[in-house]
Structure 1
């Protein structure tokens, strides 16, 4: 498949979550103009300020960097697609109904299930698909309006087309009338299991049929007070195509609602007057099929010509704390804050009050950075420990979202993920890892590392690696390279391959639009026993490896310490170290680690690894011979580590795809 074709398929399969690093000539003209006008509003952080805020600085030499250790442990986030996690049905009929293909429930997260998740070293569960979103189903007996399939993607619906921010997806409840209480009980069970809860907030867009049945007194729906006679007003929640009705896009056969199945509401019509701008910023009353036509764009006080109609942060606020940002916004007259800002703060506070511990923000860069300062500082005022994670794909803007927007973590997708995938596929050498590490070294602890999530291809799919074992060296690097948290997508730990043709969702990514089972995960789940009773030996072995690795995140103090480069010191030495290998050190005053991974699929490596003098000096260890302990296996290292005043060296043997995490013992 050509890259252009792949990019197009990505747009079609998850139209609301575009990868902004794609060349603009791959996108529609409408999307281009919207992305340029509405997504680039920011406040530049001067280079001097960025340097001042750096958390990683060079010491002694270019080979060793010192890292702040504000956190004792590294968060491990387990993303579950809530609708799919507990589903035990295996029919997997394309476009299948709930009755045919099944659906998971909140109640499937039993204490046994949560204990199983916790055993992987997980600190936070990101429950994806919680807020009530548009779906094709009849819940009218519970007072819930029926969604029109003409503006729903898939049968189960996109979790990023939210129709009620004050309630939860009724599909997930045993009793839809008590769906909110059932989710509150899940929050409590998760806390009892020793983990925290993250849910999505989708700030850029809502479902075309947004209407809350559960909003607190005094909270009105998005758009309820809008002046629809103008295309833009600061306190309008939407943008309008004045005087023009919305038209359903013309869809190709493979995108027809419900796969072409007859349905009383599938008539190519949806009542919306005047038409609202579409979620990706498309301004036509009749959006293109490649637009995010099931959603409408939220107005944050960015005018149609791109100017900013809201108070801006004073210069230097990149250096200030979340508490200082909160104080700033308390002094700003409420009437000058766009209505949508206030509404999203009300939403966040509602969920914090119910015990939610943090939020993952969808397409965070499509709304202004100043809004994030406003929202996140209010969240941190309520819960200073709330975990705030943003999906951002533009590296040049990372520091704005961290320093000005007060995000805790950003996706390290356009960087480490892309490079690790290329290395796995044989398209790049390991030098790309050091390049990516250097590019974010001042914000390394804020970059979320992952190899799978709901947007990306499954590792085991033929389109990615075709074998989950091939990615293990990358997983070791991803987990240990910095203080950054690690994300694991459910099923990744047992080699799920995403091969199902679910209907709207196609193979390689587990569908987020359809009712479908997740076979490798289901085998481990074993009808709710969570004992791996149906798993293969290979799947159980893989899961044990993930558990071992991720639990090291919490047990090895050096992983919250400093970084020492070993790659540059060895790549040209001619002692067996080559572009299939990547090595580095992590260390603090209590512990010294040597980490090395072999990405070669069919070639063992015998090498002498050299430690540069600057690193040995930073370790503050006397010359001598030191034993090494392997942490990922029960093997004994072939040789000890020898340190002199001129550096150090150790002889290592690595099997194909093997990684070593070596702890330096006492001599």
Structure 2
């Protein structure tokens, strides 16, 4: 937990993240012996992997000791982590596992007055509404595999408890959730009628589990990702979420649900968001793998349109295969169009699974789970991309840096553009059938609108470079209250600008690169038949040109000077001149180089916007812009560090610049000119 220091959390926040879901916080069964700290040792025969499953809870009131530096102060470390996350402007989600616990569940950290799960059960009954577990009365636990550990010690359980995946006999198989036991919420699964509910009076398990939710909410947790909620009755969720939100109104509750026919029931039961796995995830995966048409995305959002704001989109999580694995599509770039769709389609949230933003392949043979395209949750293992991305960023490959920059760019657009967070949505697929201008098997297009800001989003799920024309129907103009006219548009992904006539049933032309997309932003109040941005055809080297922006701002801040007066920025080496009040010292020169590389390491995003030259953001200087420059000005921002008008080419984020190396300097005393020579490695 302490590895999530302020710098790491700020990096996550800069990716565009609002909440962090920390998995495995609550203590679960593992094969590591922490008995010296008063933690009961677990029998290895009923633990999956060395590290164990984080969904086989052994103490609902404790923190996993593996995650602590000081095991005895593990809860304090967790509370400190929550505080740091909040200080960095984000919120904390943790798992709540309601359906099952580890076979050797025993709380040693429960508050005074709390009675442990199962402590007062009548083990002579298969079912009782007062019991916390189900029992195979008179029968020992006898699974289809050995219960001996490496020393020959046998695990004993008498009577056997029902297994977590609804196995109510005493002999689960190796593919069952044999390491867990099912919690009893007042449903008799094996009575004469097959299943009966006993919810009045309120079952004991309900009260115990609500107390657990309230305990963690009191630590400062902002929400819960609830595991396998379909295996717990909806009556409990309605009861529990009402009490939780009555005490902690801002708490969000996320449900892992796989049956779309029950989605609305769970929303009505108090869930803020539900996994959209059997729906949008399955659809997008199939589109990425070219197993179905991109137009199928329309059906997925339409089928849940009334509860769309409650759906949680994702392309990876701990249960699913990594995008870059050979089990999915083998290349993280191929899913960038799906990322754009997931992040921008509607106003609902989306989940990024750690490592996804670097293109983690998940093809390691970690141990218990083997090579399955997933990142293990059962073993002690280092995930290479995460380790490099957060501890040795200089070791990330060019491809890993590029994937990260694209994720950061897209997620920051999703978080920062009000048309995404608050705006209207219009699907364009019904007016763009298969033609030489558009191919709905691989192209997908939609609009987002907020006040006078319009986003036209078009993606290409294929490896082809395609010239397309996207039709915008009259109905979109009526629904979104769009004016017709000629508008300047900027692609928020690349900074490229264009002028297009936007009219009813007209077409918007563009070129789509392979496995990518366009996010054109138009401000519909800015229209003028003479709007032509000042474009040029210089073959610029984007890393060096972006470094020029950084160096200009570094010099302005260090020497209170103007931006460069003369610059020759090239691929091999560059030269830039400044007018200064004094000659910089050797220490100054070292500080320039150090500050430049610190900014590069911060991985600041490069973003763009078009603004009216007579309504510029504060601090923008147009004195060096030609008088015949258009009324529309392209503003380039590098994080919060530098903002200036520019029409050049840039990298997506500063980490793509490379290392800044000063080759030398010259000082002209007569003209007070300081010339910097540098290269990028």
- Determine the structure 2 residue equivalent to 1:322: none
Question: Cα 1:641–1:660, aligned 2, differ >3 Å: closer, same or farther?
Answer: farther
Which of 128, 131, 150 matches 1:236?
A: 131
Mapping 1:146-545, distance limit 5 Å: 146-250=41-145, 263-264=150-151, 267=153, 269-304=154-189, 305-311=194-200, 336-403=201-268, 405-507=269-371, 508-527=373-392, 532-545=393-406
1:655 shift after superposition? 1.1
Question: Cα 1:622–1:175, aligned 2, differ >3 Å: closer, same or farther?
Answer: closer
1:636 shift after superposition? 2.4
Normalising by structure 1, report the TM-score: 0.76
Alpha-carbon contact 1:131-1:167 (below 8 Å) kept = yes
Alpha-carbon contact 1:204-1:363 (below 8 Å) kept = yes
Q: Please say if 1:586 is aligned against 2:481.
A: no
Alpha-carbon contact 2:295-2:440 (below 8 Å) kept = no
- Determine the structure 2 residue equivalent to 1:625: 486
1:591 shift after superposition? 2.0
Alpha-carbon contact 2:274-2:312 (below 8 Å) kept = yes
> Which has more strand, going by share of residues?
2
Alpha-carbon contact 1:199-1:359 (below 8 Å) kept = yes
Looking at structure 2, the residues matched to 387 and 200 of structure 1 have their Cα atoms a distance apart, in angstroms, of: 12
1:181 shift after superposition? 1.0
CA deviation vs aligned residue, 1:78-97 (integer Å, no higher than 9, x gap): xxxxxxxxxxxxxxxxxxxx
- Determine the structure 1 residue equivalent to 2:509: 651
Q: Secondary structure of 1:627's match? A: strand
1:574 shift after superposition? 4.3
Looking at structure 1, the residues matched to 251 and 265 of structure 2 have their Cα atoms a distance apart, in angstroms, of: 19
Looking at structure 2, the residues matched to 129 and 623 of structure 1 have their Cα atoms a distance apart, in angstroms, of: 53
- Determine the structure 1 residue equivalent to 2:472: 611
Q: Secondary structure of 1:640's match? A: strand
Looking at structure 1, the residues matched to 306 and 483 of structure 2 have their Cα atoms a distance apart, in angstroms, of: 30
- Determine the structure 1 residue equivalent to 2:413: 552
Instruction: Name whichever of 589-598 and 508-517 sits farther off.
Output: 589-598
Alpha-carbon contact 1:460-1:496 (below 8 Å) kept = yes
Alpha-carbon contact 2:476-2:482 (below 8 Å) kept = no
Normalising by structure 2, report the TM-score: 0.75
CA deviation vs aligned residue, 1:37-66 (integer Å, no higher than 9, x gap): xxxxxxxxxxxxxxxxxxxxxxxxxxxxxx
CA deviation vs aligned residue, 1:154-205 (integer Å, no higher than 9, x gap): 0000000000000111111111111111111111111111111111011100
Q: Secondary structure of 1:296's match? A: strand
Looking at structure 1, the residues matched to 448 and 195 of structure 2 have their Cα atoms a distance apart, in angstroms, of: 45
Tell me: higher relative CO, structure 1 or 2? Use CA pairs within 8 A at least 6 residues apart.
1
Looking at structure 2, the residues matched to 382 and 400 of structure 1 have their Cα atoms a distance apart, in angstroms, of: 23
Q: Secondary structure of 2:197's match? A: coil
Question: Cα 1:590–1:388, aligned 2, differ >3 Å: closer, same or farther?
Answer: farther
Alpha-carbon contact 1:558-1:590 (below 8 Å) kept = no
1:107 shift after superposition? 1.1
Looking at structure 1, the residues matched to 448 and 73 of structure 2 have their Cα atoms a distance apart, in angstroms, of: 49
Looking at structure 2, the residues matched to 185 and 248 of structure 1 have their Cα atoms a distance apart, in angstroms, of: 42
CA deviation vs aligned residue, 1:539-561 (integer Å, no higher than 9, x gap): 11211111111111221111132
Looking at structure 2, the residues matched to 606 and 285 of structure 1 have their Cα atoms a distance apart, in angstroms, of: 62
Instruction: Name whichever of 450-459 and 551-560 sits farther off.
Output: 551-560
Looking at structure 1, the residues matched to 452 and 206 of structure 2 have their Cα atoms a distance apart, in angstroms, of: 46
Alpha-carbon contact 1:150-1:248 (below 8 Å) kept = no
- Determine the structure 1 residue equivalent to 2:457: 595
- Determine the structure 2 residue equivalent to 1:122: 17
Unpaired runs of 5+ residues, structure 2, are 528-681
Q: Secondary structure of 1:437's match? A: helix
Q: Secondary structure of 1:659's match? A: strand
1:635 shift after superposition? 2.0
CA deviation vs aligned residue, 1:399-427 (integer Å, no higher than 9, x gap): 00001x11000001101111111111111
CA deviation vs aligned residue, 1:203-222 (integer Å, no higher than 9, x gap): 10000000111111111111
Alpha-carbon contact 1:577-1:608 (below 8 Å) kept = no
Alpha-carbon contact 2:51-2:379 (below 8 Å) kept = yes
Looking at structure 2, the residues matched to 110 and 505 of structure 1 have their Cα atoms a distance apart, in angstroms, of: 30
Alpha-carbon contact 1:391-1:410 (below 8 Å) kept = yes
Alpha-carbon contact 1:249-1:293 (below 8 Å) kept = no
1:395 shift after superposition? 0.4
Looking at structure 2, the residues matched to 361 and 620 of structure 1 have their Cα atoms a distance apart, in angstroms, of: 40
CA deviation vs aligned residue, 1:312-356 (integer Å, no higher than 9, x gap): xxxxxxxxxxxxxxxxxxxxxxxx111111011100000111101
